Amino acid sequence: MVCNTCGARAVIRMRQHRLSLCQAHYLAWIVDQTQRFIKKYEMFSLEDRILVAVSGGKDSLGLWDVLWRLGYQTEGLYLNLGIDGEDHYSVTSLAYATDFAQARQLKLHVVEVKQLHGQTVPELARITPRGRGKPCSVCGMVKRQDMNRTAVELGFDVLATAHNLDDEAAFLYGNVMDWNIRQMRRQAVVLPEKKGFARKVKPFFRFTERETAAYALLRGIDYIEEECPYAIGTKQIDYKILLNQMEEAQPGSKLRFVLGFLQMRAEGYFPSETYEEDGLLLRPCPGCGQQTSSEGLCSLCRLIEQPKKEA
């Protein structure tokens, strides 16, 4: 297997692109492709201030590294979920994110969920009916809201997350399985800014997990290899396994699935929710001040308040 660019020994073969590359050309390819996606999908420019959500994992640290190399104005955000059972997941992942930022002299904002909501994510999950069993749905709400709030409060133009092709394909697959049209209308690679909401972008959405892992490894980025302990047994993981089997048999399936969906969206099949069109008005939540379409408390505040009332 030789590099298609220079003929040296290739370190990776990407069957869906019919492309093999050596280390140097692979590292350059990831950076160039990211820049191409940023332009193609009009994500941001060199003038924008970008907050990169980092978890200490390969995708988010890889993304921050690439944006930094491309000369974008970036700062990091680590949201401490307080997932610290036996394996000290949050403590360890924060250490990776901190070391990464320090080595490049980049600024990392650390936001503590416990300070904001009085409880960590596993604690919130334990006290709320929705979270009993698995904390992922509570965790998703907390992440969405707190990342957005931090980006808006600190005056960033853009919030960048490191969702990769496997994430996007699994999310889409799950939404098709459940015919969750509402979620499909929200699945986008660029969510425009609106009152109280930062612009959200996913510059890595066309790279597979294997490609982002290879980038981090070959670039020498230290990252937390363990998954969050709560990821085990989730539907998302099942969908990823299924889609990988499909990819193995039919290289390029994942990319076709996601790009086909985006094309359909562009043709108007799954129009973005505009609150005006849907008759939903955004108003500030009396609990936390975040914009919400709910009357009264936003869904996260309701979730946190409910058990207090029941107690």
| Residue 298 binds which entry of ligand SF4, Zn ion, none, CB below 5-8 Å type-dependent | Zn ion
Q: Which three-class secondary structure string do you get for 248-284? A: HHCCCHHHHHHHHHHHHHHCCCCCCCCCCCCCCCCEE
- CB of residue 46 vs ligand SF4: minimum separation in angstroms? 31
- CB of residue 69 vs ligand SF4: minimum separation in angstroms? 27
Given 112, 287, 291, 294, the residue binding Zn ion (CB under 5 A) = 287
Task: Give the SS3 label for residue 288.
Answer: coil
Only one of the segments 44-52, 199-207, 248-256, 279-287 lies at the binding site for Zn ion (rule: CB under 5 A); that segment is: 279-287
165 vs 301 by CB, closer to Zn ion? 301
- CB of residue 292 vs Zn ion: minimum separation in angstroms? 6
Only one of the segments 101-109, 127-135, 229-237, 292-300 lies at the binding site for Zn ion (rule: CB under 5 A); that segment is: 292-300
| Residue 189 binds which entry of Zn ion, ligand SF4, none, CB below 5-8 Å type-dependent | none
- CB of residue 134 vs ligand SF4: minimum separation in angstroms? 7
158 vs 228 by CB, closer to ligand SF4? 228
Identify which of 3, 5, 15, 54 has the alpha carbon closest to the alpha carbon of residue 210: 15
189 vs 298 by CB, closer to Zn ion? 298
Tokens 């936001």 belong to 111
- Contact in structure between 44 and 60 (CB atoms under 8 Å): no
- CB of residue 22 vs Zn ion: minimum separation in angstroms? 51
Site string for Zn ion, 229-268 (x = CB under 5 A): ----------------------------------------
C-alpha dihedral, 187 to 189 to 190 to 196, nearest 10°? 50
Given 10, 124, 162, 285, the residue binding Zn ion (CB under 5 A) = 285
- CB of residue 200 vs ligand SF4: minimum separation in angstroms? 17
C-alpha dihedral, 212 to 218 to 224 to 225, nearest 10°? 70
- Contact in structure between 204 and 212 (CB atoms under 8 Å): yes
Residue ranges in contact with ligand SF4 by CB under 6 A: 135-136, 139-140, 228, 230-231
Q: Is the torsion defined by CA of 148, 151, 157, 158 positive or negative?
A: negative
82: left (phi over 0), alpha (psi -120 to 50) or beta: left
111 vs 218 by CB, closer to Zn ion? 111
**288 is a contact residue toward Zn ion (CB under 5 A):** yes
Distance CA 86, CA 91 (A): 11
- CB of residue 52 vs ligand SF4: minimum separation in angstroms? 17
Identify which of 143, 149, 147, 52 has the alpha carbon closest to the alpha carbon of residue 104: 52
List residues binding Zn ion (CB under 5 A): 285, 287-288, 298, 301
